[in-house]
């Protein structure tokens, strides 16, 4: 297994939930870590650089690129964890809200990939981790737009893998119900982890899955990990 000490990471959506848990794990591994988020916490994890960034904004991502380059240098680990939920019936929902979800979950990740992955290719190595969801593979009511955005993200992940192999590894992590502020910040709807009824995993469990993929020996890729409560049927 690879040691991660000395590597450089950037995490979008890194201020809370899964992104914050990943940052904490990387810091323990002595990875130089930068966090980008629309809403920065009053107190960031120690030993991190923090940047306010709206991944739906091209100029924001350009500014983030310059700031990260100046603070830690070109990252060789990119984690796209920024995401928004939406819980609406397709026949009743608001298309403007659908667009918000797609802008964050799909186009936001694409903007981060376009900004930071060329540097990895130029250096001849790197890791890209995309946080998806079990919703990408299982349609259920009120989840059409969110699930579609994550399914599209997984197509992007596989396309990126083919475009950058063998230099850069691409990993999709697909969590099930996770105990984070995600449900409190859904664009629309009042879904909660408790209401789903299967229990929830902690964000640290998801972070451990990320580190498992990153620690694989050079030349070995873990391309998809699903992690969810044992009672969750999908």
Q: Which residues are known to be catalytic?
A: 146
Three-state secondary structure call for residue 125: coil
From 84, 19, 99, select the one nearest 51 (Cα to Cα).
Answer: 19
Q: And the tokens for 44?
A: 């960031």
Q: And the tokens for 224?
A: 């998809």
Q: Which residues, including other chains, have CB under 8 Å from residue 214's CB and lie 6 or more apart?
A: 2, 4, 77, 127, 129, 171
Query: 194 near 217, Cβ under 8 Å?
Result: no
E strands, the chain, in order: 8-12, 32-37, 48-52, 77-80, 126-131, 168-175, 224-227
CA pseudo-torsion sign 165, 166, 170, 171: positive
Query: 56 near 107, Cβ under 8 Å?
Result: yes
From 95, 124, 130, select the one nearest 110 (Cα to Cα).
Answer: 130
Query: 222 near 216, Cβ under 8 Å?
Result: yes
């Amino acid at each position: 297994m690879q040691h991660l000490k000395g590597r450089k990471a950037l995490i979008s959506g890194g201020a809370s939930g899964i992104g914050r848990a990943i940052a904490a794990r990387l810091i323990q591994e002595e990875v130089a870590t930068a966090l980008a988020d629309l809403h920065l916490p009053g107190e960031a994890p120690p030993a991190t650089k923090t940047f306010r960034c709206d991944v739906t904004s091209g100029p924001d991502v350009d500014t983030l690129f310059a700031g990260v380059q100046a603070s830690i240098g070109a990252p060789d680990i990119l984690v796209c964890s920024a995401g928004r939920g939406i819980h609406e019936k397709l026949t009743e929902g608001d298309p403007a809200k659908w667009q918000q979800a797609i802008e964050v979950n799909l186009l936001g990740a694409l903007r981060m990939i376009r900004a930071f992955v060329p540097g990895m290719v130029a250096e001849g190595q790197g890791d890209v981790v995309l946080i998806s969801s079990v919703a990408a593979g299982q349609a259920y009511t009120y989840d059409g737009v969110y699930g579609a955005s994550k399914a599209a993200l997984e197509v992007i992940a596989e396309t990126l893998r083919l475009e950058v192999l063998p230099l850069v590894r691409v990993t999709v992590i697909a969590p099930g119900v996770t105990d984070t502020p995600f449900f409190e910040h859904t664009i629309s709807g009042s879904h909660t982890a408790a209401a789903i009824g299967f229990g929830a995993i902690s964000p640290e469990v998801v972070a451990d899955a990320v580190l498992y993929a990153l620690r694989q020996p050079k030349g070995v890729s873990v391309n998809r990990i699903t992690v969810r409560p044992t009672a969750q049927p999908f």
